[in-house]
Amino acid sequence: MTKPALTAFKIIATGAPWLISMYTLYWLEYDEIWSPDTSHRGKFSVIILIIGMGLSFLVYSRLFKSGNAR
């Protein structure tokens, strides 16, 4: 792969876990699996977002080890 393509792949891979967690929250709301009166809905939303952002951070730290992001 060329350097610009590799960098683009790394950036996309870095954001994927966070986007998946956001889509999960959208899917739960859209399919009406969660209603506004679901107990502990806010706590689960925060947990899902923390997991997604944490995984994005871990992927970023693994892919960009050299110190420079690009």
**pLDDT tens-digit readout, 35-51:** 878 888 889 999 999 99
Q: Where are the domains of the chain?
A: 15-63
Distance CA 27, CA 15 (A): 18
pLDDT band at 68 (very low <50, low <70, confident <90, very high): low
Q: Residue 45 has which token pair? A: 């939303």
Which helix (H) or strand (E) element contains residue 63?
Answer: helix 41-63
Indicate if the pLDDT at residue 67 is higher than 70. no
Check residues 26 and 64 and name the one with the higher pLDDT.
Answer: 26
Instruction: For the chain, give the mean pLDDT.
Output: 87
- In Å, what is the CA distance from 57 to each residue of 42, 48, 51, 62? 22, 14, 10, 9
Q: Residue 19 has which token pair? A: 């986007």
